[in-house]
Every structure is written in C-alpha cells, then in structure tokens.
Amino acid sequence: MGFLSWYGRISLTNKITFAMILGALIGFIVGPSVAVLEPIGTVFIRLLKMVALPVIFFSITTGASGVVDLARFKKIGAFFLFYWAFSTIISSTIGLTWAAIIKPGEGIRLAEKQAELGQVNILDAFVKWIPDNMVGAFANYEMVQVVVIAIFVGIAAAFLGESDTAKLMRNFFKAGAELSMKLTEIIMAFTPYGVFALMASITGTMGATVLGSLAKMVLTQWIAYATIMLVIYPLILLFYLRLNPIQYFKNIYPALVVAFTTCSSAATLPVAMDVSKRRLGIPEDMVNLIMPIGAAINQHAVAAELPIYVLWVAQMYDIQLSPAALVTTIIMGMILGSGGASVPGGAVVLAATLLQTMGLPLTVVPWIAGIYRLIDMPNTMLNVVGDPLGGMIAASALGELDRDVFYGKKQARTK
C-alpha cells in the first residue's frame, strides 16, 4: 500500500519518468522475452493516433480565426505575423539542420533498410497538400490536407464577422478544442503504462544503444534551442533593432525563470506581459494584443523540436528523406507547432502527428514522453523569449518602441 499511495500522489511527469526507468531496467534484466508487453504500448500509440486529428483540427481552426482578427489592427498585426512566419521557418530549419549534422539516430537500427521516403518533386508535394474532398481527407487520415482544411475553415469563420452564425462557429471550434484536449488528458493518463511496455520491449531487444540514441536526441534539441536563443535573437536585436542583447535578456529574466521552472507558456504569460510593458519599451496596447496571440502560435522551440524527431526516426530506420519530404517537415513543423501549442501533453501528440504525416513509425513516441521534461524546460523558455521580441519589432517598425524604458532610463507608462 505504501508504494501505491506514493505513486498516486506524484505528478504525471514523474510517473512517466519512473515508468521509463523501470521499463528500461526490466528490459535489461529479462531480455528479448519481455517483448510480450509490446501490445500494451501499441494500444497507447493507437490512442494517440486517434486523438491527434481532432486535436490538430480544432486547435488550428480556433487559432486561425483569432489570428485573422489581427487585420483590425492593421500594421501591428502585419508586422508581427511576418515576424512569426519568418522566424518560425528559420527555427524549423535550424532544428532540421542540427539533426542532419549530429545524426542522433545513427548507430541504432530498429528495422531493415527501407526504401527512400517521399520520392516526389516539391511541386507535386505542394499539390497533394490541397484536398479535393474534405471528408476523404479525414477518413484517409491525410494530416497535411486536414491542416489545410482547418486553416481555410478558420479564416472563413473569422471573415463571417460578428453575425450569429460566426459566433456559433467560433463557439463550436472552441468547444471542439476543449473536448479534444480533455480526451487528450484522459489518454495521457495511460502514458506511464505505454511508456513502460514499449521501453521494456525495446531495451530488451536492443539494449543500451536505445538510451544512447535518446541522449543524442536530447542534446540535439538543446543545441538547436541554444542556436536560436544565443545566435538568431541577438542578431535580430543587434542589426535590426540596434539594441544590446545582454540588456534584453536581463530585462526578461523574471519570465525566463518562471518558464524554465513551470514548463508552461500559459503560466508565464502574465509575467512576460508585465516585463514587456515595464522593461522592454513596448506600448501597453501592443503587449495586450501581441503577447496572448504569440503565446499561442509563436512557438520557435516547438518548430525546431518537431523536425528533429523526424530525422531521428528516419536515421534509426535507415530511411532516406527526399528534398520534398524535408520541405514538408519544415513547413509542418511550423504549422503544427503553431496550432497545437496549448494541447496538454502537446509534444507527444504533435510528434505522433508529424511522424504519422511523414509515414514514419511511431515507436519512439512513448520514449519522447518519458524524457520530455529534459526537453520541455529549455523549450518553454525559448518559446517565451521569442514573443516579446516580436512585439519589439512591431513597435520599432511603427516608431513606438521606447528605448529609454528598455535601457532603464525612465519608467514605462502603464494603466
């Protein structure tokens, strides 16, 4: 009873970590015969696939309708959206590049060599993203087509204005998103059991090479995040905004600490907004507009994270990705990262979604869940750092950035 009482009190994150460690130990001790547990993990993966499509659809439709509302704010929204699109694509490309350089999946083979994935040209790939049948896209689990449908449906709902029909549709999207997230929470409660079963099965047959590959993957994530935070952001501050990067990081330090310790962009948002108003010189109305939207869609770390999973899995299964597949990976990393940022256990769901979209095995998804705390702390911190920077770019472009406030020469005016 003592163990059960302790297990019931600890957080889901700790349960997943405990399950992963225990599964690895059981796999090492028992050996290949522990593969009898694999069906439990397979059921967990199927549940993730089941929930991924509605989560992504409703998250994107809800987010797209909100983003289109930025048209009311004209230039403010336009500058921030340009920053979001450009910086997110750069982040996704950085993640893909580091995964190609470090090769975290090399040295382990989970299957025999497979044929090259995605032997089509880039133009054909773009054409196939456009659905010719909405129902067929959902029925056939064409995730990219579902994403396209969600974007168009969300935009159309936004342009309906403030009519009763428009409000009904937006409420429907929000209700669908809430229901999907609750379903995800229920499925995530079973994560420790799926992680234990699959980790035991894999380590029982593959041994310590699995843990080495996981460590290299986490290292790849950290290096990608560091590149964005310590190279890309300072370059923007120095050469576009003409500001001191060290001063920027000093000003937002309170938000960084909250993000790193809570691993929650939502929990960090009030702190980040306060810092942006009082220390960065961004007008209060811009902060109120940009920061909540940025917390939802401006996810640079997620955009970098997802492509790393794709190359990691492809390397472990010895799958060659074509140029078209690489372009798809970058763009899907951008779209999925923006659309699913608020999903509980979002990294697991988004990883499963992207791997499914790319036609790659989902074996590693429970592994990601098991070690995600190591990724999530710097991940959330990077996501939080990028939002105020977008607000500063918009304010600077409109001539409203108060540099004296940024450098602490005067206090900001707040209501």
Out of 24-28, 184-188, 234-238, 393-397, least confident range: 184-188
The answer to whether position 71 is within a domain reads: yes
Average pLDDT of the residues in 201-212? 71
pLDDT of residue 115: 43
Percent of the chain with pLDDT over 90: 17
Domain range enclosing 245: 18-406
**DSSP code at position 159:** T
Beta-carbon contacts of residue 230 (< 8 Å; ≥ 6 apart): none
- 119 pLDDT above the threshold of 50: no
Structure tokens at 255: 């938000």
Predicted confidence band at 218 (pLDDT cuts at 50, 70, 90)? very high
What tens digit of pLDDT does each residue of 269-299 get? 778 888 888 889 998 877 877 776 777 677 8
CA–CA separation, 216 vs 205, rounded Å?
20
**DSSP code at position 11:** -
The answer to whether position 391 is within a domain reads: yes
pLDDT of residue 72: 46
Q: Are 197 and 23 in contact (CB under 8 A)?
A: yes
**DSSP code at position 183:** H
Q: Find the CATH number of the domain harbouring 246.
A: 1.10.3860.10
Kindly write down the DSSP assignment for every residue of 67-108, as one continuous string. HHGGGGGTHHHHHHHHHHHHHHHHHHHHHHHHHHHH-TTTT-
What tens digit of pLDDT does each residue of 353-411 get? 788 878 888 878 877 877 787 888 888 889 888 889 988 998 898 888 999 999 988 77
pLDDT of residue 7: 66
CA–CA separation, 272 vs 292, rounded Å?
10
The answer to whether position 10 is within a domain reads: no
Predicted confidence band at 187 (pLDDT cuts at 50, 70, 90)? confident
The answer to whether position 124 is within a domain reads: yes
Predicted confidence band at 111 (pLDDT cuts at 50, 70, 90)? low
Give the count of domains, the chain.
1
Average pLDDT of the residues in 300-325? 88
The answer to whether position 360 is within a domain reads: yes
The whole-chain average pLDDT of the chain stands at: 79
pLDDT of residue 344: 46
Residue 362 backbone dihedrals phi, psi, to 5 degrees? -105, 15
The answer to whether position 191 is within a domain reads: yes
- 303 pLDDT above the threshold of 50: yes
Average pLDDT of the residues in 107-133? 62
The answer to whether position 3 is within a domain reads: no
- 93 pLDDT above the threshold of 80: yes
The answer to whether position 1 is within a domain reads: no
Predicted confidence band at 126 (pLDDT cuts at 50, 70, 90)? low
- 118 pLDDT above the threshold of 60: no
Q: Are 34 and 197 in contact (CB under 8 A)?
A: no
Angle CA 223–389–279, to nearest 5: 115
